[in-house]
């Protein structure tokens, strides 16, 4: 085999976190190689609900810091990627039988507005406008329709745009290339890739999403580990027109979105424990039934059957091992490294699409402890 090529930073994974770190590290002047076993955004980052948001529902689990930070990043992304991230009105119909009454939802929206520093306005829609806002919506026993501002995107497009920005800054991105293993040799990692290639890297970044601990197991000496639970979330692309972003309660009290997507409706998501090979994730029969039932409950005039499903999307959340329900598990990104003062290995666990840039900057700051930045970089000013 020829002499291994040397890079400063080797990144495993071409999801939003891998490409975000590639962008941040390349903008600091480091040589970067990112390897992705499939194509960019082929896993979680192309199968999300595609919202750039603070996460209204995280107010219920009191993750206020996360919501504040994500709302701040949302505003930045409106400016950096105006063609990819749009401000939208989201509607919440409230019914007599809902677990969350209108006053509670309004309280949540007031808090959301405050945390967004006034950028997520909300309003109550008068009864005579309900049908105009959401044609076909079931208004039987409906008590209120509330609207608030949030953000939406095409997650895969956004991820590809960040990858393109990283490339422009000098990062190399190899798709259809798998990380196989790495071992520490002196001051370097010696990494084996497939198709066969050998690279020397000063810093190894594990941004493999649901594969994060599988990748870690191929590294010698074994780096620190975080115990996690994997939770799958399914979406159905339905052949029904969608006129608005709608946020509803499913029968079991969890929240679900219906949003316009490629001339149809994207409906989801679920939260189901997952084990096995992340590459094989798919919506279960129960998930399909639950999503269709929720859709049909809110849009009974034109109900959907399985034959109305155009496509299924399924992604996997990486959550910290947690005794209660997945709903209340922290959605913060966990950054784990081998040595806080001078890291050689940095892994990312979990997190949100919305906060990728901020978390990638945190990783870039960790990298700077071992490899001082060669350029003054700031991804807050790089347009996508």
Ligand X SMILES: Cc1cc2nc3c(=O)[nH]c(=O)nc-3n(C[C@H](O)[C@H](O)[C@H](O)COP(=O)(O)OP(=O)(O)OC[C@H]3O[C@@H](n4cnc5c(N)ncnc54)[C@H](O)[C@@H]3O)c2cc1C
| Contact footprint for ligand X (CB under 6 A) | 12-18, 35-38, 42-45, 48-51, 178-179, 207-211, 215, 233, 269, 315-317, 348, 351-354
By CB neighbour count within 10 A (0-12 exposed, 13-18 middle, 19+ buried), where does 151 fall?
buried
For residues 202 and 370, the answer to whether their CB atoms sit within 8 Å is yes
Q: How far is the CB of 219 from ligand X (least distance, A)?
A: 11
Tokens of 199: 């690279």
Rounded distance, CA 172 to CA 188, Å? 19
Tokens of 71: 């709302």
Residue 202 or 360 with smaller CB distance to ligand X: 360
Residue 108 or 210 with smaller CB distance to ligand X: 210
> How many C-beta atoms surround the C-beta of residue 198 within 10 A?
14
Rounded distance, CA 332 to CA 113, Å? 21
Q: How far is the CB of 369 from ligand X (least distance, A)?
A: 22
Q: How far is the CB of 44 from ligand X (least distance, A)?
A: 3
For residues 356 and 8, the answer to whether their CB atoms sit within 8 Å is no
Residue 95 or 247 with smaller CB distance to ligand X: 247
Q: How far is the CB of 227 from ligand X (least distance, A)?
A: 17
For residues 326 and 317, the answer to whether their CB atoms sit within 8 Å is yes
Residue 179 or 261 with smaller CB distance to ligand X: 179
Residue 234 or 371 with smaller CB distance to ligand X: 234
Q: How far is the CB of 101 from ligand X (least distance, A)?
A: 25
Q: How far is the CB of 206 from ligand X (least distance, A)?
A: 9
Report the chain's C-alpha Rg in angstroms: 22
For residues 15 and 199, the answer to whether their CB atoms sit within 8 Å is no
Q: CA neighbours within 13 Å on the CB side: how many for 9? A: 37
Residue 31 or 48 with smaller CB distance to ligand X: 48
Tokens of 18: 């891998």
Residue with the shortest CB distance to ligand X: 15
Element (H, E) at 182: strand 178-185
Q: How far is the CB of 173 from ligand X (least distance, A)?
A: 11
Residue 13 or 93 with smaller CB distance to ligand X: 13
- Evaluate the CA torsion angle 186, 189, 194, 196 in order and state its sign: negative
Q: How far is the CB of 33 from ligand X (least distance, A)?
A: 11
Q: What pairs with residue 219 in β-bridges?
A: 182
Among 155, 163, 158, 208, CA closest to 46: 155
121 phi and psi angles, rounded to 5 deg? -70, 160
Residue 116 or 354 with smaller CB distance to ligand X: 354
């Amino acid at each position: 085999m020829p002499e291994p090529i040397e890079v400063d930073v080797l990144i495993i994974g071409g999801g939003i976190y891998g490409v975000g770190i590639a962008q941040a590290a390349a903008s600091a002047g480091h040589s970067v190689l990112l390897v992705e076993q499939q194509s960019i955004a082929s896993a979680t980052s192309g199968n999300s609900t595609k919202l750039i948001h603070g996460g209204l529902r995280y107010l219920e689990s009191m993750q206020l810091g996360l919501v504040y930070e994500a709302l701040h990043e949302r505003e930045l992304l409106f400016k950096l990627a105006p063609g990819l991230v749009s401000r939208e009105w989201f509607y919440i119909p409230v019914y007599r039988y809902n677990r969350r009454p209108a006053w509670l939802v309004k309280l949540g929206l007031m808090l959301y507005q405050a945390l967004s520093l006034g950028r997520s306005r909300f309003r109550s829609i008068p009864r005579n406008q309900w049908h105009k806002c959401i044609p076909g919506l079931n208004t039987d026993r409906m008590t209120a329709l509330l609207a608030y501002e949030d953000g939406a995107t095409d997650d895969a497009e956004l991820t590809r745009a960040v990858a393109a920005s990283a490339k422009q800054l000098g990062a190399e991105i190899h798709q259809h290339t798998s990380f196989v293993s790495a071992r520490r040799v002196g001051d370097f990692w010696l990494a084996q890739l497939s198709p066969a290639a050998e690279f020397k890297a000063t810093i190894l970044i594990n941004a493999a999403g649901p594969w994060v601990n599988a990748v870690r197991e191929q590294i010698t000496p074994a780096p620190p580990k975080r115990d996690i639970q994997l939770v799958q979330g399914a979406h159905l692309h339905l052949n029904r027109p969608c006129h608005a972003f709608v946020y509803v309660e499913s029968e079991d009290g969890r929240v679900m979105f219906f949003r316009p997507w490629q001339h149809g409706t994207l409906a989801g998501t679920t939260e189901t424990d997952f084990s096995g090979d992340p590459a094989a994730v798919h919506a279960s029969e129960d998930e399909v039934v639950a999503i269709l039932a929720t859709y049909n409950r809110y849009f009974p005039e034109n109900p959907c059957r399985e034959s109305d499903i155009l496509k299924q999307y399924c992604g996997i959340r990486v959550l910290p091992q947690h005794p209660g329900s997945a709903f209340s598990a922290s959605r913060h990104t966990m950054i784990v490294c081998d040595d806080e003062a001078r890291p050689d290995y940095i892994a990312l666990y979990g997190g949100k699409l919305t906060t990728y840039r901020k978390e990638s900057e945190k990783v870039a700051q960790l990298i700077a402890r071992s490899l001082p930045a060669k350029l003054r970089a700031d991804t807050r000013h790089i347009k996508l």
